[in-house]
Amino acid sequence: MPAHALLETYSVLTGFPPPHRAAPDLVGEWLDDRFPMILSPPGPQEQRALVRRLAAAGRTGGAVYDALVALTAQLAGAVLVTADVRAAATTGWSGSRCVTSARHPFGLGETVSRSGEGWADAQRWSVPYPAESTAEGRSRG
C-alpha cells in the first residue's frame, strides 16, 4: 500500500460519523495485518514529472491521486489491486500493472477480473482467483 494511501485509509475509517466510525486500535491492527508492506512515495522529481504528464493528458481532480497511487506501485514493481474500475483507467494510462475486482479488492468471496500484466502477483493480496485460472479448476483465496 502506498504510504499516503495508508494514512488516508486510517483517516477515513476512523473519521466516519458514528455509528460507522471504526475504533482507531482496530483500524491500526487491520492495516498492519492486511498491508505489511508500505511503499515509499515517488521523489520530488518523479512527482513533478507526473504533474507534467497529467497536464499534458488533460487529467484533473481525483485522477491525480489515482495516478500517484499508480506511479508509486509502478516504481516499487508492485501490482496495483483496486475495486475502482474508473481508477484502473488512470493506472493503465500510467503504465502500472493493475488487477481490478468486481466489488472488493481483497477477497471477501469476490472474484477478480484480469486487467493487464501481473495477474499471478495478485495472489499475495489474498485475492480469490476465478476457477478457470487455477490448475485444480477451483478458486483459491
Q: What is the pTM of this model?
A: 0.62
According to the model, what pLDDT value does residue 31 have?
94
CA distance 141 to 124: 10
Q: What is the Cα–Cα distance from 97 to 79, expressed in whole angstroms?
A: 5
Contact 81, 105 (CB under 8 A): yes
Q: Report the pLDDT value the prediction gives residue 101, as an integer from 0 to 100.
A: 54
Is the pLDDT score of 58 beyond 50?
Answer: yes
Q: Bigger pLDDT: 63 or 45?
A: 45
Cis bond leading into 19, ω under 30°? yes
How much is the average pLDDT of 67-86? Answer: 80
End-to-end CA distance of the chain: 19
Question: Which uninterrupted H or E stretch holds 29?
Answer: helix 24-34
